[in-house]
Chains A and B, each alone.
Chain A
Amino acid sequence: MASEWKFTAKEIAERPDLFMSGHRACAGCAPATVHRLVLKATRGPTIATNATGCMEVTSTIYPFTAWKIPWIHTAFENAAANASGIEAALKILRKKGRLEYEHVDVIAFGGDGGTFDIGIQALSGAVERGHDFLYVLYDNEAYMNTGIQRSGGTPLGAWTTTSPAGRKIPGKPQLKKPIADIMVAHEMPYVATASPAFWIDLIKKVRRGLEVEGPAFLHVIAPCPRGWRSDPSKSIEISRIAVETCIFPLWEAIDGEYNLSAPSKLMALRPERKKTVKEYLKMQGRFRHLFKPEFEHLTGKIQETVDRRWQKLLKRCNMP
């Protein structure tokens, strides 16, 4: 791998915004922040492709486009297939000597619906074929674009319009799919998780994912104030607390070797700084019913699940 890219905040601020202003995402949309930060980490000519989702719909309302780079969208399920097609086309152009650039990066963006549920076969196939591209999953934990329906990425106990919280059923009864671990099982060269609150970590991981030869996968948590029923100004804070409660630990797996990233390593070395999941849950209206006396036991169950997955991760990272 090439030498580590070092940068300061002002150097990043001076780079042009490839995801422009004027897109029609809601106020306080963290996925928009994620897109901006990801495109700040590009190393040259880049081609992007989107799965259908919030950011596809809001960034390209005909005839407007928020993308300053070549961009393509075809359908919901095939962001990864698109990316592999682009990469194959670049390969043949280079072979014929019709490509003037040394390297052209391909980034595929997908929401959690387009990755966890609908797009997983295209993604799995593209990774198996070993195309050189970066897949960025911005995870807002439901189908927000069509009106907050549950997806494979929705966590336990969350309210959505298709898993409503009533007197008997407390939101979604199933657990969240561990998608990043599924991608590690593909034995791909680079898998990482990131949070927009820790932007240095996010930008470094994007660059590493682009530099690596072969497919790379980046799972980014992206709070949605509309669907999570949270304050728009707290989007970044929620993504920070998700890391501090170990609900969404940050790690990277290079060739299957797990490594904790700095913000989560702190939580591993100083367990007393780890927050309880209640602090994460109480910031969001979609978990409001969990604080009623009849569903109190569910917060305990969520904490248990988080602790179990955290201990499993620590074991994989060879941490005490």
Chain B
Amino acid sequence: MNTEKKKGWKEIPMAGVCWVPSTSYLTGDWKIYRPVWDSEKCTRCVLCHLYCPDGAITWKAKTNEMIFNYDYCKGCGICEAECPTNAISMKLEGEP
């Protein structure tokens, strides 16, 4: 739990402006299944990046690899269902 003291009305921005980026809130613990990426089968079509509702998959151009950010992945399985080469498989959280 967040134990730090909450800000009072004098310290927060005026007019109900949201000032904390949502990336500081991790949604990764929502998932039951987690996507596991197979670098061999992957053709880097980046469809998983485009279809991911959470932006949890990014393509790193320098090393040409897909990066799965499990801090934000909610485990919906869209990437597995849409992968044309079956390079992504869903594994139960906690399994190796």
Flag whether A164 is at the interface (Cβ < 8 A). no
Whether A22 contacts B58 by the Cβ 8 Å rule is no
Whether A13 contacts B49 by the Cβ 8 Å rule is yes
20 example contacts (A-B, Cβ-Cβ < 8 A) are as follows A9-B50, A10-B61, A21-B54, A22-B21, A22-B27, A22-B72, A27-B74, A31-B53, A32-B54, A33-B53, A36-B52, A63-B18, A63-B20, A64-B22, A199-B50, A233-B78, A235-B53, A235-B76, A236-B81, A236-B82
CB proximity of A197 to chain B, nearest CB, Å: 8
Known contacts A9-B46, A232-B77, A25 near B53 by CB under 8 Å: yes
Most buried by B among A10, A37, A231: A10
Task: Tell me the B residues contacting A by CB distance below 8 Å.
Answer: 12, 16, 18-27, 30-31, 44-47, 49-56, 58-59, 61, 69, 71-72, 74-78, 80-82
How far, in whole Å, are A23 and B22 apart by their CA atoms in the complex?
A: 6
Task: Tell me the A residues contacting B by CB distance below 8 Å.
Answer: 9-10, 12-14, 17, 19-33, 36-37, 59-60, 62-66, 68, 196, 199, 225, 231-237
**B interface, over-half SS:** loop
- List residues of chain A with CB within 8 A of the CB of B80: 233
Whether B55 contacts A36 by the Cβ 8 Å rule is yes
- List residues of chain B with CB within 8 A of the CB of A63: 12, 18-20
- List residues of chain B with CB within 8 A of the CB of A236: 51, 78, 81-82
- List residues of chain B with CB within 8 A of the CB of A237: 81-82
Cross-chain contact of A23 among B49, B51, B54, B58 (Cβ < 8 A) = B54
- List residues of chain B with CB within 8 A of the CB of A68: 21
- List residues of chain B with CB within 8 A of the CB of A64: 18, 20-22, 24-25
